[in-house]
């Protein structure tokens, strides 16, 4: 009996109806908000819903009536942009008032635009979104303020072999597997808009050294797909791309590569997938076994001498793995939140205005990891995301050309550290390599 597949038109209709319902629900919450906190939360939900609708309209453009979808797109972009400005103005006003009260020595009064103190999680200054103002205690500490983005003095970059891992910046491909060259990565229509245009092997030859991969569990093992592997034609298994990377490292003993897994598989399935990669154990880097937290990151020369030049991160929860009885770090996959900081993953919808603000991705009721996090002797690696909800070639060209500017004026001051990974869509457009090269000319304090 032939397998019955869902009607793509019906799937698309359900998707758009769900996003519209989400938007209308957020709009009702915004109109009925009783407190400034409720209003801000509803505004964020509205903005998120508008982005998702906009991304869906663009992604499924071939299946929609253009006279309707094109008229709706600019309106959604306007809503998202207006809400972004409202949030930014509220944040800046709160920071300015706090700074002025610190200057005067008066206690900081609660303001209608500020979140109630009871809801805030204690964290270092400049930690999260909105980033609090950092004010030093000594007479010479006024330069530590970050009311506006500021350039901090940098030092000369050491020779390549003497550079520590946290001093280097690597070009990173967002959804590197979603390239349409190596195999399928998404259902019909969605696969018309790949995040990259070149296969993994070509990405390696082009200088990409960070790879963001979404891995899902199927009866065939750990498979690389966007959101779901349902209806994906010829998807690529995780071990296949890891084998390509491992083979490259064996052929290029001076190179270092990092893999970031958006991880939806059981730890046992992931371990079995890694066991299929020949030569992986020879190049796998284990910072948990080399005293990194006590002594800092090694130099590229030390990593090359040891041969350990592939670092694999997972965004999965370690607590959840403990409950399952097997943690991923036991077989060499590091928990990303233990070793990195990362800014929010999107600058906005695939078309229209963008949000350049730089704040922590890991900031919610359960997890607070400020971009400014450091520990005695240890500085986390900084993953700087610079892409949007949907990969649109013309938008990626413009965004990538502005990558160095955003890194210098927004993300570097917000994190008080230089980005280790610059993650972009369509790295072949807009010359993001120039930003990587510029960041690799100096060290940050």
Same domain, yes or no: 50 and 195: no
Q: For 179-216, what is each residue's pLDDT tens digit?
A: 999 999 999 888 888 999 999 999 999 999 999 999 99
Does residue 131 sit within a domain?
Answer: no
Does residue 146 sit within a domain?
Answer: no
Same domain, yes or no: 265 and 402: yes
Same domain, yes or no: 406 and 268: yes
Backbone angles phi, psi at 133, to 5 degrees: -75, 135
Alpha carbons 51 and 76: distance in angstroms, whole number: 7
- Which residues constitute the domain of residue 101? 8-120
Same domain, yes or no: 188 and 288: yes
Does residue 137 sit within a domain?
Answer: no
Same domain, yes or no: 70 and 163: no
Same domain, yes or no: 204 and 273: yes
Does residue 112 sit within a domain?
Answer: yes
Q: How far is CA 279 from its chain centroid?
A: 29
Does residue 361 sit within a domain?
Answer: yes
Q: Which distant-in-sequence residues (6+ apart) come within 8 Å of 350 by Cβ? A: 54, 55, 58, 59, 193, 388, 389, 390, 391, 392, 395
What is the mean predicted confidence (pLDDT) over 269-275? Answer: 97
Same domain, yes or no: 212 and 265: yes
**Which pTM value belongs to this model?**
0.70
Alpha carbons 355 and 72: distance in angstroms, whole number: 20
Alpha carbons 415 and 406: distance in angstroms, whole number: 12
Q: Provide the domain count of the chain.
A: 2
Q: Over 136-161, what HEC string results?
A: CCCCCCHHHCCCCCCCCCCEECCCHH
- Mean pLDDT over each residue of the chain, to the nearest integer: 83
Does residue 129 sit within a domain?
Answer: no
The last residue of a domain, from among 75, 104, 120: 120
The last residue of a domain, from among 97, 120, 143: 120
Does residue 235 sit within a domain?
Answer: yes
Same domain, yes or no: 319 and 364: yes
Does residue 321 sit within a domain?
Answer: yes
> Does the pLDDT of residue 218 top 90, yes or no?
yes
Same domain, yes or no: 178 and 74: no
Same domain, yes or no: 116 and 182: no
Same domain, yes or no: 174 and 247: yes
Q: What is the CATH number of the domain that holds 297?
A: 3.20.20.190
Same domain, yes or no: 312 and 216: yes
Q: For 7-55, what is each residue's pLDDT tens digit?
A: 666 767 777 787 788 888 877 777 777 676 677 777 777 777 777 777 7
> Does the pLDDT of residue 130 top 50, yes or no?
no
Choose the weakest-confidence range: 142-156, 244-258, 324-338: 142-156
């Amino acid at each position: 009996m032939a397998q019955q597949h869902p009607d793509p038109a019906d799937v698309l209709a359900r998707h758009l109806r769900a996003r519209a319902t989400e938007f209308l629900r957020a709009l009702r919450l915004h109109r009925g908000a009783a407190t400034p906190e409720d209003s801000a939360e509803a505004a964020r939900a509205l903005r998120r819903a508008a982005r998702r609708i906009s991304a869906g309209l663009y992604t499924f453009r071939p299946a929609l009536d253009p006279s309707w979808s094109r008229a709706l797109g600019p309106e959604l972009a306007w809503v998202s942009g207006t809400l972004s400005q409202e949030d930014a103005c509220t944040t800046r006003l709160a920071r300015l008032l706090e700074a002025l009260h610190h200057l005067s020595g008066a206690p900081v009064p609660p303001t209608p635009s500020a979140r109630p103190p009871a809801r805030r999680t204690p964290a270092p200054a400049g930690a999260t979104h909105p980033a609090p103002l950092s004010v030093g205690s000594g007479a010479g500490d006024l330069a530590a303020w970050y009311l506006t983005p500021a350039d901090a003095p940098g030092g000369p970059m050491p020779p390549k072999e003497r550079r520590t891992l946290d001093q280097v910046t690597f070009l990173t491909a967002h959804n590197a597997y979603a390239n349409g060259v190596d195999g399928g990565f998404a259902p019909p229509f969605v696969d018309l808009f790949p995040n990259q245009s070149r296969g993994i092997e070509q990405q390696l030859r082009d200088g990409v050294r960070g790879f963001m991969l979404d891995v899902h569990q199927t009866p065939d093992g750990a498979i690389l797909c966007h959101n779901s592997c349902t209806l994906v034609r010829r998807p690529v298994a995780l071990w296949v791309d890891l084998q390509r990377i491992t083979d490259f490292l064996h052929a290029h003993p001076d190179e270092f590569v990092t893999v970031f897994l958006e991880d939806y598989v059981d730890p046992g399935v992931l371990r079995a997938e890694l066991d299929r990669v020949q030569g992986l154990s020879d190049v796998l880097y284990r910072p948990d076994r080399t005293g990194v937290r006590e002594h800092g990151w090694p130099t590229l020369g030390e990593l090359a001498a040891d041969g350990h030049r592939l670092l694999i991160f997972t965004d999965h929860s370690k607590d959840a793995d403990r409950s399952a009885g097997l943690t991923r770090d036991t077989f060499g996959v590091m928990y990303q939140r233990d070793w990195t900081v990362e800014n929010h993953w999107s600058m906005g919808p695939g078309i229209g205005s963008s949000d350049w603000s730089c704040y922590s991705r890991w900031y919610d009721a359960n997890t607070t990891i400020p971009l400014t996090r450091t520990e005695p002797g240890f500085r986390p690696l900084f993953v700087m995301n610079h892409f949007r909800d949907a990969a649109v070639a013309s938008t990626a060209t413009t965004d990538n050309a502005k990558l160095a500017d955003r890194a210098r004026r927004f993300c570097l001051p917000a994190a008080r550290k230089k980005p280790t990974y610059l993650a972009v869509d369509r790295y072949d457009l807009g010359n993001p390599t120039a930003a990587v090269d510029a960041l690799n000319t100096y060290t940050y304090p």
